[in-house]
Amino acid sequence: MDIFYRKHRFLNILSISLPLFCFLLSWGATISTSTSPTPNIPLPPLSSPIDILRHKGYTLFASTIHSALSTSNFNLSGTILAPPDSAFSFSTAKFSPTNLRAPPRPSTSLLLFHTLKPPPLSWLGLSSSSANIAVPTVNNNLCLFITKTHTGEISISTSSSKKWPISKVKVRQHDIYVDDRLTIHGIDGVLDPTTADKCPTSHQSPPAHIESEEGAYSAFLDHAIRVLKKRGYVIAATALAFKRTELLTLTSLTVFAPSDKSLFFNRWDGFRYDFLGHVIPQQRLRFDRLSSKTAAYETLAPNKRVNVEAVNGSVRVDGVPVDATEIYHNRWIVVFAIPTSLDDVVSIDPI
């Protein structure tokens, strides 16, 4: 009787606890699922100068550029000196010995005063300029003055004299954006146009050749490397950096770049990627030119050429399709995306 009672009691407890245990188990799984972190969605690549400025902490000036492009005939070219958002706060600006009053607010006229007339000046162009030079802005014949100390430190001010008040800044982030029409540098303060001097009658405006071609190419290469890394072409970007000295001797080049994912996908024996065999020297081939005819081009790899075939508007290089959307281009370099390394094609079907 006692055994029967214990058995009956055990079955009662089991009938109650088993459903309860299953419920708790399923509830815990639901909680863990609902509270699991949402996977990070990759951000779209930063392409425009406005996007890049916003990403780097120059939101106010980026919005000013956007507004000027929408409401006026502002031409996005030359060299823009962009103050960070913090520079427009008086609580920050008052600690600067050259700013004893509240900085001017972002506006189109302020943007024009912070924009130097073309040609665009990369950091190398600024640092290689003469010690004291007046550079015209696009704001009513007002100039900014680039000065250089004996140690090579560069400052940009609103006047060449020692009058007071004066606005004076330094470049805090150089070559934020570089292409063949526009260069953007980040500065550490706001230049006040009310303290600016008119351009001298015979001002020393920087001539087009102030920056050597190699210096311009260097800035273009740096920007191309940054863009490629952000868009998933780190290996191609690293190869560009590694071959920097050799590439800067070229007057132009075209690069076919496989993505990092394509190089590593389903590969257990390592990837094959001869970077020099993916570079056409001395020719900057845009897609419209590639698609206009079939031709063979020498590459930087010894005794290697690639065959570019154009059929009905599509382009193949050694049989590999070329994406019509160029990853990057400026007046010196063009980079195309391809789905696989050209070395894989050669290894599978040797010529």
CA distance 256 to 276: 10
In this structure, are residues 240 and 276 in contact, taking their beta carbons and an 8 Å threshold? no
Q: Domains of the chain (ranges plus CATH)? A: 49-211 (2.30.180), 214-348 (2.30.180.10)
Grade residue 33 by pLDDT with cuts at 50, 70 and 90. Answer: very low
Backbone angles phi, psi at 281, to 5 degrees: -85, 155
pLDDT tens per residue across span 198-219: 887 655 444 444 445 556 788 8
| Structure-block tokens of residue 350 | 């040797």
In this structure, are residues 110 and 69 in contact, taking their beta carbons and an 8 Å threshold? no
| Structure-block tokens of residue 319 | 């049989």
Strands 314-317 and 305-311: antiparallel
| Structure-block tokens of residue 279 | 């570079």
* Burial annotation 86-98 (CB, 10 A radius, 16+ → b, else e): ebbeeeebeebeb
Q: How far is CA 153 from the centre of its chain?
A: 25
CA distance 115 to 193: 12
Tell if the pTM clears 0.85, that is, is over it: no
89, HSE (Cβ side, Cα atoms, 13 Å):
7
Q: How far is CA 253 from the centre of its chain?
A: 19
Grade residue 95 by pLDDT with cuts at 50, 70 and 90. Answer: very low
| Structure-block tokens of residue 144 | 């900014």
| Structure-block tokens of residue 143 | 């100039």
CA distance 188 to 98: 12
In this structure, are residues 157 and 170 in contact, taking their beta carbons and an 8 Å threshold? no
Residue 337 gets which letter from DSSP?
A: E
Instruction: Look at 149 and 109; give whichever has higher pLDDT.
Output: 109
Q: What's the chain's average pLDDT?
A: 77
User: Is pLDDT at 256 greater than 90 in this prediction?
Assistant: yes
| Structure-block tokens of residue 218 | 């260097």
User: Is pLDDT at 25 greater than 80 in this prediction?
Assistant: no
271, burial (CB in 10 Å: exposed 0-12, middle 13-18, buried 19+): middle
pLDDT on residue 21: 55
Of how many residues is the chain composed?
A: 351
Residue 342 amino acid letter? L
User: Is pLDDT at 38 greater than 60 in this prediction?
Assistant: no
CA distance 237 to 267: 21
Residue whose tokens read 């943007």? 111
| Structure-block tokens of residue 207 | 């001539």
Three-state secondary structure call for residue 203: coil
Three-state secondary structure call for residue 53: helix
pLDDT tens per residue across span 164-181: 667 789 988 888 888 878
Grade residue 290 by pLDDT with cuts at 50, 70 and 90. Answer: confident
pLDDT on residue 115: 94
User: Is pLDDT at 344 greater than 80 in this prediction?
Assistant: no
Peptide bond preceding 165: is omega within 30 degrees of 0, i.e. cis?
yes
| C-alpha closest to that of 81 among 176, 152, 160 | 176
| C-alpha closest to that of 189 among 160, 152, 158 | 158
CB atoms within 10 A of CB 289: 16
Region 305-316 average pLDDT: 89
